[in-house]
Amino acid sequence: MSKNKEKNKTEDLDEKIGTEEEREEVESSSEKEGLEKEVSSLQDKYTRLFAEFDNYKKRTSKEKVELIQTAGKEIITKLLPVLDDLERAMEAIEDTEYDTPVKEGVQLIQNKLYKFLEQEGLKPMEVKGQAFDPNFQEAVTTIAAPSDELKDKVVDVIEKGYFLNGKVLRYAKVVIGK
């Protein structure tokens, strides 16, 4: 009888557990699900890492372009007073009776300097007669407007303003009509 009991127990166990092939299928399907989850997790990590690296490349590229564009900013800023002096010299020469070669020489130097600075991205602000804009201009003083149409507009420019690659390098110092 003990043999029958053992035989019945093993048959019951086989029925509960199933055959060995079924057990292997269950184990392999759970293993497969685990591997699929791991692959999905790794793909997600890879996608995020790739996106992060792509953003890094874009950011460093943008920073490099900005650095190149503004590399000469300090030198150009130091040259602006020289440019102002050349403009004042040309105005003074126009009022006097210097020889034509002297006027042409100073004009040539001024034009060369302007062209060089324009190639580097410098542009003068055109503000005379325009409405006052504190984003680009600094009001030095106000005077009575010569006409009604010049109220709250730039009447005179004390010091020219400049842009360097679209950004304000120096604010224009202006006189406003009131």
Check whether 17 has a pLDDT greater than 80.
Answer: no
Give the list of residues 6+ apart from residue 29 with CB closer than 8 angstroms, or none.
Answer: none
Q: Residue 66's pLDDT band (boundaries 50, 70, 90)?
A: confident
Sheet holding 154-159, edge to edge: 137-143, 172-177, 154-159
Q: How far apart (Å, rounded) are the C-alpha atoms in residues 141 and 145? A: 12
Q: Residue 65's pLDDT band (boundaries 50, 70, 90)?
A: confident
Grouping H, G, I as helix, E, B as strand and the rest as coil, residue 154 is: strand
Q: Residue 5's pLDDT band (boundaries 50, 70, 90)?
A: low
Sheet holding 167-170, edge to edge: 122-124, 162-164, 167-170
The widest CA-to-CA distance across the chain, in whole angstroms, is: 139
Instruction: Give percent of the chain with pLDDT exceeding 90.
Output: 43
State pLDDT tens for residues 111-161.
999 999 999 889 999 998 888 898 999 999 989 888 888 888 899 999 999
State pLDDT tens for residues 39-61.
999 999 999 999 999 999 999 99
Q: How far apart (Å, rounded) are the C-alpha atoms in residues 58 and 66? A: 12
Strands 122-124 and 162-164: antiparallel
Q: Which amino acid is at 71?
A: A
What's the pLDDT score for residue 173? 94
